Each structure stands twice: as structure tokens, then as C-alpha cells.
Amino acid sequence: MWLRHEMADLFLHKRPVRSVFSLLGEDENDITYSLGWALSRSPTLLRAFLNKIVGGRHHYDHEHFVISLQQFYKRSGITDIEIRGEDAHLIIEAKRGLEPPSERQLRRYVACFRSTAARKKFLVGMAECSKQYAVRHLPRKVGNIPVRYMSWKEVASLSELRRGSYKEKTMMEDLRNYLATIVTMQKQDSNWVYVVSLSEEEWAPGLSYIETVEKRRRYFHPMGVRGWPKEPPNYLGFRYYGKLQRICHVEDVLVIDDFHPYFRESQRYKEKDPYLLYKLGKPIIPANEIRTGNIYASGRKWAMIDLLLTCKTIAAACSASRRREEQI
């Protein structure tokens, strides 16, 4: 009789390791190295990536390509990932976060193409934001070099191989698991809640802030300005009418600068600063009344979810959360 053996759980700094790529780490360079390694070891992924950027359905031979990480150029600095072949040369500027690379960042690499004989040359920006947002903020060309964009979600989608060896498919599964835990910028194991206040005021004709959360399960705020977070929280708490009304897990987040595609009530208008638009999960409704406490009307606060649901006021939960954090 065969016994099924389960694998032991592996933790690194108290966080579970779900992929071999997780052993590298979680900063921007670590993600870049992981993608570079995957492209170099999976001919199928490399071919799909090149076809996505270059266009068409070419059968690129991976043996004719060289992939370089952190390549130094005297006047241009260090490239994140460089893919060089006989007919194609790509320089990738990869970002962890929701903001795509700037034109200034991409322009630094134009001189790097002077030494290549490849006909197909591309600058590729990568980040977590949607292509719809990125293409509105990236130039079509820098110098004479076309600019393309690919999100980390698109990379994960490309890694779902229909073809390829068993070894490739296993590696791609590891890559997807790694990206899923990192590139959303959410700390999925975090129990911190970002508590915000809502009003009955209509921000668009016939749609108030409270209705946006309750009926549409959406919430938005400016991205990284005037004290608003630049990175999405794992949980959002909403207070109005003097008490905590609900806590929602953040299911997805987009960077937007025009509300109309997502809310028909809103007029078409390009905002000066980008906004984070959240898709909210099923609400957690407090079992007991949790009053606001000593917090000014529009104040935004952080609290741990268990304390937020058990303290008598939001203010008390915030204080208790800070004390707990100091003791860790």
C-alpha cells in the first residue's frame, strides 16, 4: 500500500515560501532576476514574450538569444533585463509597483541600441498597472525606438503554457505563484486595515461615496499624494454615521486617471494625479457597535483587524495596534 507523503511547510522570516523564486526575495531586483531566469530557461515563455512585444507569431530559436541582467553601460547606467538576438534586441525597464517607467528612465537606454545590428529594437516598460493606463502615460517612441508595455499579470498569463516540457510547466507554475504573492503590492498576510471616512455627498450625479462602497463594491483615492497610501492595503475599513460600518478585503486594484470607463455617471475627465481604484470583497460587518472615538471627521487611520473588531472605538483599536507593533 502506497502512502501519500505531504511536503513539509517552508518558512523564510516567518513567511511561507510557496515557490523556489521566493527564496530570492521580494524587492524590485529580485522580481527582475526571477523573470530573467524564467525567460532563459523556458524557450516557450521566451518565444511567447517576444511575439507579444514584437508582434506576429514567429518561431524564435532560444539558442540564438542572450539574456543579460544588470548590464552596465557607461553613459546609460544599468539595464534591468536585456534580450539580444540576431534579429531582435529588447531592453526591459521593470518596476515593482503601479507606476510605469518614466520617459526619462527609458531615454537613458536609447544609446544602448547603437551597437546592435538587430532590425527589431524595442524599449519595454513593465509594472503592475493596466495597459490601458500605461499606454496613456508612455510615449510611443523614445528617439527612434518603439516603446511597448507589459504588465506583470500579462507575464503570469503568458506563463500558462499549453506547450512545452513538463519541467518548463512546473517552473512556470512556480513563477506564477511567486508573482501572485508579490506584484500586487499587497501584503496578503497583513492584518492591518486602512480605515477611511465616507459621506453621503455625491461625487458623481446620482452616486455618493457611501453608495459607491455599498452598492458597487468599489472605492478610490488619490495615489501617494496628500498623505494617501501609494501601495494598496490588504483591507479597507469604512466609517460613517459615527461608527465603523464594514471592513472589506481588497480583491483587485487599478491605477486610473479617468473615472468614466468605470462609472458611467462620471464625466470624461483626465485627473491631474492618478487614483487607486479598488474592487472590494464581501464586507465584514462588525457584530457590535464600534464608535469612531477621538478621530477628526476626515481622519484616516490604521488598525489591526482583530483589535478593530473587538475594541469599543476605532481610536482605541488604533492605539492598541501601535502598542502591539512596538512589542513585536
Of 142, 164, 182, the residue that ends a domain is 182
In a shared domain, residues 28 and 140: yes
Show the DSSP H helices in the chain as ranges.
28-41, 43-54, 103-107, 131-134, 152-158, 166-182, 209-214, 305-310, 314-327
Nearest in space to 316 (alpha carbons), one of 305, 308, 324: 308
* Cβ atoms within 10 Å, residue 129: 25
Nearest in space to 126 (alpha carbons), one of 43, 53, 48: 53
In a shared domain, residues 201 and 235: yes
Q: If you write DSSP's letter for every residue of 267-312 in order, what string do you get?
A: PP---SS-EEEEEE-S-B--SS--B--S--TT--EEEEHHHHHHSS
In a shared domain, residues 143 and 55: yes
In a shared domain, residues 89 and 206: no
Of 133, 156, 182, the residue that ends a domain is 182
In a shared domain, residues 178 and 286: no
- Residue-level pLDDT at 271: 82
- Residue-level pLDDT at 74: 81
Contact predicate 274/260, CB 8 Å: no
**In-domain check, residue 69:** yes
Contact predicate 299/197, CB 8 Å: yes
- Residue-level pLDDT at 67: 94
Residues 6+ apart with CB under 8 A from 93: 79, 80, 101, 105, 106, 109, 123, 124, 125, 126
Structural domain span for residue 271:
192-327
In a shared domain, residues 102 and 202: no
In a shared domain, residues 44 and 154: yes
**In-domain check, residue 187:** no
Of 182, 208, 237, the residue that ends a domain is 182
In a shared domain, residues 213 and 169: no
**In-domain check, residue 299:** yes
**In-domain check, residue 101:** yes
In a shared domain, residues 177 and 203: no
- Residue-level pLDDT at 1: 44
Domain count, the chain: 2
In a shared domain, residues 172 and 232: no
* Domain CATH number, residue 280: 2.30.130
Whole-number Å distance between alpha carbons of 3 and 198: 55
**In-domain check, residue 251:** yes
Q: For residue 141, what is the enclosing H or E element?
A: strand 141-142
Q: If you write DSSP's letter for every residue of 94-110 in order, what string do you get?
A: E-SSSSPPPHHHHHTTG
* Pairing state between β 243-256 and 235-240: antiparallel
From first to last of the 328 residues of the chain, give the pLDDT tens digit: 444 446 677 776 666 666 677 677 778 888 999 999 999 989 999 999 999 999 877 777 778 899 999 988 887 789 999 999 988 999 999 998 888 999 999 999 999 998 888 999 999 999 988 888 888 889 999 999 999 999 998 999 999 887 778 888 888 998 988 887 777 655 555 799 999 999 999 999 999 999 999 999 999 999 989 999 988 999 999 999 999 999 999 999 999 989 999 999 998 887 888 999 999 999 999 999 999 999 998 899 999 999 999 999 999 999 999 999 888 6
- Residue-level pLDDT at 5: 46
* Domain CATH number, residue 105: 3.40.1350
In a shared domain, residues 61 and 167: yes
In a shared domain, residues 166 and 21: yes
Whole-number Å distance between alpha carbons of 133 and 83: 25
Look at the pTM and tell me if it is higher than 0.85: no
**In-domain check, residue 2:** no
**In-domain check, residue 4:** no
Whole-number Å distance between alpha carbons of 256 and 234: 19
